[in-house]
Structure 1
Amino acid sequence: MSGVARVPGQAGRPQRFAGGRARRPAGAPARSWGRNDAGAEAIPVTTREDLDRVDGLVLPGGESTTIGRLLARFELLEVVRQRVAHGLATFGTCAGAILLAREATLDDGTPAEQPLLGALDVRARRNAFGRQVASFEASLDVAGLDGQPLAGGPLEAAFIRAPWFEAPGAGVESLATVATEAGDRIVVVRQGHILASAFHPELGGDPRLHAAFVELARRG
């Protein structure tokens, strides 16, 4: 877990956002959600004290079991769980989205034994689209915070060993789906102050989903 961003807040008050870095494939764009893209600049967050100073948290991609175990090892798992439960704006991408879920399964539907925050009322199916060799890109129509499609047309999404979201609770909004042979699968959701994406928005050089999160955090 790393990254804090500062953007102008209401009445000129600086806002800070915790974010993260995902390892990107060779040749992939380095742009993520810097000040010129989404109005925020990511800097590291590694301690409770860092977390106390932020207005928004981004849980990045990677390996969800490892991230959860590291948070537990450094006594941050329960701290993060409580901050999210008490309304800290949070954005999970890929592994970070799995970590947010109430439950997680392997690709065959069997329960995944791993630490979870349990803040997002969905079941996350890990590696749902297949392993690394099945990674793909897709053009998605993504809804914004107002329920309308994001301005600017479809968003190019990079799915790398990505999950999808199942059994959403009543308070969960589906913002984007991907068509599969078995039907449409949910890949972007919002639950109040929580946003989650099955794909890596930082890899496509398109700041719109991060900008939506910055706006979500601004709204408090």
Structure 2
Amino acid sequence: MRAVTEQPLVGVLAVQGDVREHLVALEAAGARTCTVRRPSEVAEIDALVLPGGESTTIDKLIRAFGLQGPLRERIAGGMPVYGSCAGMILLADRIADGRPDQETLGGVDITVRRNAFGRQVDSFEEDLHIRELGGQPVRAVFIRAPWVEDAGEAVQVLARVEHGPAAGRIVAARQGNLLVTSFHPEVTGDHRFHAYFVDLVRRRR
């Protein structure tokens, strides 16, 4: 492993999804960044972001590239990981409506439902109040997003939908060093969620 430095090295899984936006947000939050595509790269990072995309496709590519075993090992060893949208599904222990051949990396004691808010045309934005990020609301962008159907006792709920027919649904949570959101903070220019994650990484180190 590398020597510890002040700026943590945060990798972004780069097999599919909105990789570039996460790299920009993480660097704005004070982290050094790299993309992760090979098993050898998993051992070099302090933390990882699993971006949005298509969860079944990302799962298949993770296995095809030989990443599943190394990622599960690092997660079990306490490496901080943040999963947004599809990344939330990948970190969930259970999927309510997963395909028979779909697997997750696991680690967060939640059940998620894919595309819970509807299809692409049902994408929407909403202001969420997240105490851990301060008084100003977070503009959350939901794109074919999952939600959390249930969460175990060790899971800290960070945000719920505040309005509409889905009010009360969990859309952000944390369990130890693992952080998940249904929405995409990387696309709004508000880097507070990434700063929260980078701070978690620094404390872990």
Paired residue secondary structure (2:169): strand
Partners of 2:54 and 2:175 lie apart in 1 by 23
In the alignment, is residue 154 of structure 1 matched against residue 142 of structure 2? no
Aligned residues: 196
Query: Which among 117, 141, 155 is matched to residue 129 of structure 2?
Result: 141
> What stretches of structure 2 of length at least 5 have no aligned partner?
none
Q: Distance in 2 between matches of 1:197 and 1:112?
A: 21
Choose between structure 1 and 2: higher helix proportion. 2
Contact 1:33 1:42 in 2 (8 A): no
Contact kept, 8 Å, 1:138 with 1:157, in 2: the verdict is yes
Would the aligned equivalents of 1:20 and 1:59 in 2 still touch at CA under 8 Å? yes
Unaligned runs of 5+ in 1: 1-8, 145-149
Q: What letter is aligned with 2:112? A: A
1:186 is matched with which residue?
170
Whole-Å Cα distance in 2 between the matches of residues 13 and 40 of structure 1? 9
Name 2:154's counterpart in structure 1: 171
Distance in 2, Cα, partners of 1:31 & 1:57: 11
1:33–1:41 Cα contact (<8 Å) kept = no
Q: How does 1:42-191 map to 2 (within 5 A)?
A: 42-106=33-97, 111-113=98-100, 114-144=102-132, 150-179=133-162, 180-181=164-165, 183-191=167-175
Where 1:42 maps in the other structure, the secondary structure is strand
Task: Tell me how far 1:128 sits from its aligned partner.
Answer: 0.6
Distance 1:56 1:68 in 2: 19
Structure 1 residue ranges (4+ consecutive) displaced by more than 6 angstroms after TM superposition: none
CA displacement at 1:43 relative to structure 2: 2.1
Tell me which amino acid in the other structure corresponds to 1:83.
R
Aligned position for 1:6: none
1:207 deviation in Å? Answer: 0.3
Question: For 1:17, which of 5, 10, 17 is the aligned residue?
Answer: 10
Structure 1 residue 30 displacement after superposition: 9.0
**Displacement, 1:32?**
3.8
Deviates more, 1:71-80 or 1:193-202: 71-80
What TM-score, normalized by structure 1, do the two folds share?
0.82
How far off is 1:34 after superposition? 4.2
Shift of 1:57: 0.6
Deviation at 1:65, TM superposition (A): 0.7
Q: Secondary structure at the match of 1:184?
A: coil
CA contact (8 A) 2:171 2:183 kept: yes
Counterpart of 1:33 in structure 2: which amino acid? A
Mapped to 1, the partners of 2:63 and 2:80 lie a distance apart of 21
Indicate yes or no: 2:24 matched with 1:40. Answer: no
Partner of 1:5: none
Deviation, 1:45, is 1.4
TM-score normalised by the chain length of structure 2: 0.88
Checking the alignment, whether the CA contact within 8 Å between 2:8 and 2:32 is kept in structure 1 is no
Distance 1:197 1:171, change over 3 A: same
Counterparts of 1:139 and 1:118, CA distance in 2: 28
SS for the counterpart of 2:88 is helix
